[in-house]
Copies of this chain bind each other. A is one copy, B any other.
Amino acid sequence: MWLSTIAVLVCASLSNALSCNLSSDLLKEIRSYQGTVDQIINATTQGLFKGKTYDELAYFVDKFGARQAGSQVLEDSIDYLLDLMQSTGYDLDNVHGENVTIPHWIRGTQTCEMLSPRKANIPVLTLGGSVSTLANGFEAEAIVVKDFDELDRVSDKVKGKIVVYNNEYITYGVSVAYRSKGPSKAAKYGAIATLIRSVTPFSLNTLHTGQTAYEDSIPKIAAASITREHANMFQRMQDRGDKIVLKLNIQTQNLDPVTSRNVVAEIKGSRDPEKVVLVSGHIDSWDVGVGAMDDGGGAFISWYALRVLKALGLKPKRTLRSVLWTAEEPGLIGVQAYGQAHKDELDKHIFVMESDEGVFTPLGIEYVAGDEGGCILEEILKLLTPIDATQAKLVEFAGSDITIWRNILPTANLLSRNENYFWYHHSEADTMDVLDTAALDKATALWASVAYILADLNKDFPRQVPKLNIVLPSVLHV
């Protein structure tokens, strides 16, 4: 996940108290899917596919490891999936890659040595997109600020220094601003580099990376994360009046853009094949950890749902399309290319789903849709009672990549028990250990059930979406 959890921040005030008045025919139609949903749930949680989503994902991440945008490993992993999806026994329709030109940024040297008040190695993890320091780094004094307000107050002391943001974690949506905007805000006052306290509510001396976003009109300065523990140490040192001197060396490279691919697979619709219900996750990851959680889980339930439906012989009226977006992490690149390539068909995209907040025990879905749509989703989710995943929750944004369509078509996000998502996010701790085989089975069942019913209902899902009361953040690239 990139920045989408800003949704968590802004949706708190939304009310879910829908006054539903669906026709009895529609209610009857939705309820008629209970047998199909039970069949899907049985297949994934007890039958042939029990444990398979986890096993497929574990094999995949063990085989490829991290899949950073621009890397050959990402492309190899895409080739592997394209082969797998159309192999005997999987037999998905129309499996293909759709070319996307993506950036190719790589991290190089990343070292920080504290020279004063004592000598110590300070682990740093360069932020995605960061520029380099001087070729051999530089020595400079550090100044610690707790937030942007404090930065403004001490702006006359920033010039020539390394700004350390010791921003307390509040929510991801609030705190990620230091990672995205911190470098340019500090550079505006003459800072020569920035170190950002890792954006996480919990740390075992854990470094978290993620994309930074420079303002065009301001000099670009190197940016790396430090651990919460070291940020607090610097804070204590400064509070005591100690002078903090660091030698920081950050080297990065922006190589030539490369061609990557969004991975597409389908179950062709039986009645309206040109109409699409899309389920998605992203296939790229950061270069730390192995991207099992972000977003291996989301990507795998999104194609494995189709594999389960196919094996059960369930063919909906509309086309069910699974898309695994490439290059989400550097800024929703894959989805934007898809939007361009398919711009003439977007009006045939009936409903778009994404899972990119980790796949933990599923609770239901978060959605952006109008009242009637909300009522339909609530009815559909009731069918998931056997796995206790019945919530349908209206939010301002759903998903990460798919937020680019937030204002034009209905979207939804997997809602799961992901309280600790940001403990692992964009860190070396994003591994298979975060995931649970039973949770993945249930999520595949939920994903398959909801997508299938939406693709199979007699009438198209209502297209209207609620007006957004806030300005879309520019960092969302929409």
Contact = CB atoms under 8 A, between A and B. Distances in A.
B424 A204 contact: yes
B429 A204 contact: yes
Contacts of A431: 205, 229, 233
A7 interface: no
Contacts of A118: 62-65
Nearest to A233: B62
B62 A433 contact: no
B432 A233 contact: yes
A459 interface: no
Interface in A213-258: 228-229, 232-233, 236-237, 240
B236 A62 contact: yes
Contacts of A233: 62, 431-432
A169 B203 CA distance: 20
A117 interface: yes
A63 B429 contact: no
Contacts of A123: 428
A206 interface: yes
Nearest to A288: B205
Interface residues of A, number: 30
Nearest to A61: B233
B117 A229 contact: no
Interface in A42-97: 58-59, 62-65
Contacts of A138: none
Interface string A109-139: 0000000011010010000000000000000
A121 to B, nearest CB: 10
A229 B64 CA distance: 16
Contact of A117 (B63, B120, B289): B63
Contacts of A428: 123, 204-205
A4 interface: no
A232 B433 contact: yes
A427 interface: yes
B229 A429 contact: yes
A122 to B, nearest CB: 11
A279 B440 CA distance: 51
A423 interface: yes
Contact of A232 (B65, B240, B424, B432): B432
A76 to B, nearest CB: 10
A117 B60 CA distance: 12
Which of A120, A228, A233 has the most C-beta atoms of chain B within 10 angstroms of its own C-beta?
Answer: A233
A64 B233 CA distance: 12
Interface in A413-432: 423-424, 427-429, 431-432
A65 B433 contact: no
Contacts of A229: 429, 431-433
A57 to B, nearest CB: 11
Given A233-B432, A432-B229, A432-B233, A427 B205 contact: yes
Contact of A204 (B59, B64, B423, B432): B423
Nearest to A434: B229
A428 B120 CA distance: 13
Contacts of A433: 203, 228-229, 232
5 contacts: A123-B428, A203-B204, A205-B206, A205-B427, A233-B432
> 9 closest A-B pairs (Cβ-Cβ)?
A204-B429, A205-B428, A229-B431, A205-B429, A204-B204, A229-B433, A204-B206, A65-B120, A58-B236
Given A62-B237, A203-B429, A205-B431, 12 more contacts: A58-B236, A62-B117, A62-B233, A62-B236, A63-B117, A204-B204, A204-B429, A205-B289, A205-B428, A205-B429, A229-B432, A233-B431
